[in-house]
Each structure stands twice: as structure tokens, then as C-alpha cells.
Amino acid sequence: MEESKIQDIEISLFLDALLQRHGYDFGNYAKASIKRRVLGLASAQCQSVAELIPRLLHEEDYLAEVISQLSVPVSAMFRDPPVFKTLRETVLPLLKTYPRINVWQAGCATGEEVFSLVIMLEEEGLLERTQIYATDINDIVLHKAEDGIFPMRNLAEYERNYKSAGGKAMFSDYYIANDEFFRIHEHLRQKIVFAHHNLVSDGVFCEVQLILCRNVLIYFNDELQKRVLNLFHKSLVRNGFLCLGTRESLRAVEAQHIFTVHNQECMIFHNQGILS
């Protein structure tokens, strides 16, 4: 048998062990991407994927490392500035009509996007009445996000993004810095509840007016995208907003007509349902 076919069997056994032993189902992730991630994990630690299986079965602490390696926690503050500008100019004014606002960022990685959102909510006078939930499957990045500490080497890029996204003050108003790191101010960090939530298997998180889930669906196949988009549909109030990544789509639920377009270029949609 060809070596690549043997490798595919090993990957399938590894993912099955992950599901049976720990309840994490990566079976509906995009195949090429998950294969790359598992092979990356193996090449850093041993000769073959099969050698990872006993560790996964018997070493309790190994799970967090595996989940961390299989997820892709890349993020940036005010990533895609036109999207944040559009949220600020066309979505936040509509959220002002609600006395209490709930926002859910699903797949928050190390927190860069949710802190961007918090800064915008503060500048638009909405932070006081907003509760923000940021969730991810990867506990290691969730802990980092909770700390709100980011490397100084990214600061210049974030300052540029902040301005292009319509920032009204100075980005430096929102953090304290030393030589290597800057840390988001505590009063902003306190507004966010960071929590573990798995989009593959967990249910409705809470009733929300806005969901930001960018660059997450791209790692899922159509079946899983459909599940997740239906979960968002059930979590959003009628006419609530969903913002996806610019390389993502609603293709998986096109026939259901559960969302209508608010801004196609920025991938912002209205929910058409009522929370059931």
C-alpha cells in the first residue's frame, strides 16, 4: 500500500481516538486543512501519526496541546478595517435601539477581534449596556485572550487598522505598554466573558443581537457550516446581525433563506427568524 494511503488511515484512527476518548469531532472539518494540522503535530513530535494515539488515549494533559495544534488561532486587531468601519457606521447605530445588547464572538482565538469590538462599542457609547461573550474551542488561546496581552511588534499595524476602521481617539488610549508587550485596559477586559464553546457539538449560547464569527467556517465542510449557521440563526434575535469572514459564504444554507444581506462585501447579514 502507498505510504500516503497508510498516512490517511493513521489520521482517520487519530481523529477517531480524539472523538471516542475526548468527545471532540473533527470529522467535518475541511479534509486538506485538518490533514495538514495532524501531520504538523506528528512531525514536531515523532515519526508517525500512529505514535500520537497512545498519548491521546492515556495522557490527560495532552488533549489541550492537540486541540491547540488542530485549531488555527491567527488573528489581528481591526483585521479587514472596512468591515469594522461598516460595523461601526451601519450596525452599531441600529443596536442603539436596544436597551440591553448581547454580542457573541465565536472563534475568538487570542482575542484581537473582540477587543477591537469593545473599543468600538466604547467609542459609540454602547459599552455600558453591552454584554460580550467570546468563545473558542481552544482553552490555551482563551486564557491568553483573557489576559489581553499582545506583542509590541504588532502595534504599528493595529494602530493603522484602528484609524482605517474609523477609530475616533488614539489607539494608545486603550492599553499600557512596556518594551515587549501592551496590555488592554482592565475596564475593557472586564466587559468580556471568555468561555469554552464548541461549534461542532454545543448548543445555543444565549440570545444575541450581533454574532461575529470570522475565519472559522472556512475550516469546516458544508455539513458543519450548515449546522453552525443554523445555530447562529437560532441564537440571534429577529433582524440581529451576523458577520462572517470575507472569504466565507452562506452557501450551505442558501436554500433556507434564514439570512438576508446587510452588506455583501463585508459579509454582514440580517437574521430572518425569531429565537425558538
List contacts with ligand SAM (CB under 6 A). 71-75, 79, 107, 109, 113, 136-138, 141, 198-200, 214-216, 219, 245
State in angstroms the smallest separation of the CB of 218 from ligand SAM.
8
Task: Decide whether 75 or 102 has the Cβ nearer to ligand SAM.
Answer: 75
State in angstroms the smallest separation of the CB of 37 from ligand SAM.
10
State in angstroms the smallest separation of the CB of 201 from ligand SAM.
8
Helix pair 3-22, 31-45: axis angle to 10 deg: 90
Cβ atoms of residues 70 and 26 within 8 Å? yes
Q: Bridge-partner residues for 16, per DSSP?
A: none
Q: At 84, give phi and psi (nearest 5°).
A: -65, -35
Distances (CA, A) of 213 to 61, 90, 106, 132, 232: 28, 18, 5, 13, 9
Task: Decide whether 11 or 109 has the Cβ nearer to ligand SAM.
Answer: 109
**Residue for grid cell 466565507:** 248
State in angstroms the smallest separation of the CB of 6 from ligand SAM.
27
Task: Decide whether 101 or 134 has the Cβ nearer to ligand SAM.
Answer: 134
State in angstroms the smallest separation of the CB of 103 from ligand SAM.
13
What is the rounded distance in angstroms from the CA atom of residue 126 to the CA atom of residue 276? 27
Task: Decide whether 56 or 108 has the Cβ nearer to ligand SAM.
Answer: 108
For ligand SAM, the nearest residue by Cβ is: 71
Task: Decide whether 27 or 50 has the Cβ nearer to ligand SAM.
Answer: 27
Q: How many alpha carbons fall within 13 Å on the CB side of residue 226? A: 11
